[in-house]
Amino acid sequence: MQQEWEDELEESKKNKLHDLFGITYENQKLYFIRKALMKMVDTCPMCGIQPPSQLDHQSPRSDFKTMSVSRLNLVPVCGVCNNKKRDKDPHGFVHPYYDHSIKDVPFFVITIHSNPRTHRMSWKFSINEAVISDKALADKINKQVGVVKLYRRLYRETNGMLSDLLSGIDDITEDILNFLLQKEYKTHLKRRGPNDWHTVFVKALNDSPIFTIEEAKVYAKTIKPINGGVNA
């Protein structure tokens, strides 16, 4: 986005372009833009947790009125990420359409920890900046992660994922555990790529010598029913 583009049009025309976004909603004339973009994305590209429910202007609509309904400037995201990003500097965020240099670079890391006495686990999220050749891009990733509070949100999601994986297994063995982890890893890698949290978490569990059958058994015993077992 170049500010010069904005300066080429008179203010009245820029305002008309700015206001077009209001008719991208359902039953409005430009709804086809929103519908097409939403159809392309299963989960929010900023968090990978929730399905997209809103269109974020990568470069703020208030500053770039001419790009109000440009598909290149509209990113389907979840409401949580969109509310946290708001009108912050777009140069501090990864653009899911253009920043492809890191697509196949496994930079997202989850490290598994366990208490050797109780076998109770925890894990830590981080970005391996050493594998990202572009320092500016690495800074963007770290900033974006902080703005959307990704690590705090992911701890809950990864707990839920592991609970789903282990629940219902009465006589879990090392072979069963390894089979489940390898199967889950291959599935998520194919569907979501190397940096999605599902893929990274299962890989961390599979590769870690710390996550053994003892940790799995202890964790399985502590799984709590969702909503206390009440379907509200």
CA quadruple 203, 209, 210, 216: dihedral sign: positive
> How many Å separate Cα 224 from the centre of its chain?
25
Q: Please give the residue that has the higher pLDDT: either 101 or 30.
A: 30
pLDDT band at 107 (very low <50, low <70, confident <90, very high): very high
| Sequence ranges of the domains in the chain | 3-87, 108-229
- CA end-to-end span of the chain: 47
Q: pTM here?
A: 0.87
Confidence check: pLDDT of 63 > 90: no
* CA dihedral over 205, 208, 214, 219, signed as positive or negative: negative
- Please name the residue that has the structure tokens 């409401």: 79
